[in-house]
Amino acid sequence: MSPNTDLVADIAGDLGALARARVVVVGDVMLDRFAYGAVERISPEAPIPILRIEREAAMLGGAGNVLRNLTALGVTADLIAVVGDDAAGREVAALGAAEAGERCHLLAQADRPTTIKERFIAAGQQLLRTDRENARPLAPAIAAQVVNTARAALADPAVGAMILSDYGKGTLPPATIATLIAVAHEAGRPGVLGVPVVVDPKGRDFTVYRDAHVIKPNRRELHQATGLPIDDDEQVAAACRALMDQAGIANVLATRSERGMTLLQSDVTAQHFPAAAREVFDVSGAGDTVIAVLAAALAAGCDLERGARLANLAAGAVVGKLGTAVAYPEDILRAHTAADLLSAEAKVVGEPAMLDHAARWRRCGLTLGFTNGCFDLLHPGHVSLLRQARAACDRLVVGLNSDASVGRLKGPGRPVQPEAARAAVLASLADVDLVVVFGEDTPLKLIETLGPDVLIKGADYTAEQIAGAEVVRRRGGRVVLAELLPGYTTTGTIAKLKA
């Protein structure tokens, strides 16, 4: 086995261990709203573009986006944050409950509005961002509830790390930070001293994070906190060392945008990780991804170097996506192997990654098509169907019947090829963008989940016979019947082989 293969196996093992981790997140939560549309003219009232809004979306931001990244990795996570007693706060609560269930602990303060960041986007580019916020410190009673809720969560010996996600919106004033770090030091598994505190910092005075296990400033924050130059590896390492000495922090992981990351540990030579991104579309939320992966790795028993390596790979994966995105385990593994996102292996995904791809494509204004089948012993008829399907949309998702499903539909002896082989062959075709295996007899559930714009099926079906046709039409989509290429069927091929 080659060293690279060994490293891939190590990373895969670490990613598998994350699903056994539990992390507590405390910090500033916000609602990220996105308005997508097209700019086709300039306003007659002022020299500004007019955005014709076509679609809107909302997701958790700030500490909430840290939670999203943790759950994408399979980590069990608690979120402790404060919202306003308003419609946006209730929307955040619903989104948080969908991610973490009863582990989402949102406290409401009536006189303090929920932080909202709204982005207006056309052709994949942000035109404007608006912020609605009140950054004053929490009411003393609410601040005490934050600490008490964190103390209760940290009492669980399964908790392996705590994240302080500080966006400077008032949830984490210095006194609260100091108390939370002290509480974490008193907690931990039997025989383990304390729960490590991982900090995503804000401001210039990092002494407020004294005694944290690791702090993650970006280049600008590192320069502001130390006043030192940060133009090359040596200068960044010196600034990290100064920060550790000045602020009383054990370790520093500095994110450096296109230059990757630098990890400095006590009595260890600085380690520099080159950027893993092959193409950058959007850096929104990349810091949340880094802090989430780093804390999850520590909670899973990885050391800081391994955690930083995983976090660097995750950052490279997430900046290749448009919008406030998350990194799934398969994204991180692919980032290491430097496989193209459209390679055959990368095209075979589960439902969460499918939805992530679909959301990204829709944000770019692309139409999404769907077709399905058993695709056992791929033949020219299949290729013709897929070519027609891809011509009807911008991106094509193929639902593939699982082995058990094919057996129920086709009878004994089928499929000839197992689902992994059938998926690999489909994914190797240029007309196919994603392959998703489903276990039901029909793809109705998958279609309801995906919500494609176009549903494509062979003309041997009528529109009324096609599973999911009504679902697509009800959402404003269309159904396309592809012409059949006569003389090619898998059943016929098998019969010839037997003869």
Catalytic residues: 288
The token pair that represents 314 in the structure block: 């995750």
> What's phi and psi for 349, nearest 5 deg?
-135, 165
Q: Tokens in use for 112? A: 């303090």
How is residue 146 written in tokens?
A: 């934050």
List, in sequence order, the alpha helices (H) in 63-138: 63-72, 87-100
Sheet holding 125-132, edge to edge: 49-62, 29-42, 116-122, 125-132
* Side chain identity, residue 147: V
Q: What single-letter DSSP state applies at residue 179?
A: H
- What is the SS3 assignment for 282-335? CCCCHHHHHHHHHHHHHHCCCCHHHHHHHHHHHHHHHCCCCCCCCCCHHHHHHH
Q: For residues 90 and 130, give the distance between their C-alpha atoms in angstroms, rounded to a whole number.
A: 20
Secondary structure tally for the chain: helices H, strands E: 18, 18
What whole-number distance in Å separates Cα of residue 228 and Cα of residue 72? 36
Q: Pull the structure tokens for residue 344.
A: 């055959």
**In whole angstroms, how far apart are CA 242 and each of 145, 229, 270?**
35, 12, 13
Q: What would the two tokens of residue 471 be?
A: 């679902």
DSSP assignment string, 19-53: TT-EEEEEE-EEEEEEEEEEEEEE-SSSS-EEEEE
> Hey, which residues does 130 pair with through a beta bridge?
118
Angle, CA of 451, 452 and 457, to the nearest 5°? 125
The H-or-E segment that residue 480 falls in is: strand 478-482
Per the structure block, which two tokens stand in for 432? 């196919």
Give 231's DSSP letter: S
Q: How far is CA 448 from CA 97, 246, 455, 475, in A?
A: 21, 55, 12, 10
Q: Cβ distance 374 to 401 under 8 Å?
A: yes
Among 184, 185, 214, 183, CA closest to 198: 214
Per the CB < 8 A criterion, the answer to whether 200 and 291 are in contact is: yes
Q: Is 122 helix (H, G, I), strand (E, B) or coil?
A: strand
Q: Tell me the three state secondary structure of residue 434.
A: strand
Q: E strand or H helix at 252, and its extent?
A: strand 251-255
State yes or no: cis peptide before 274, omega within 30 of 0: no
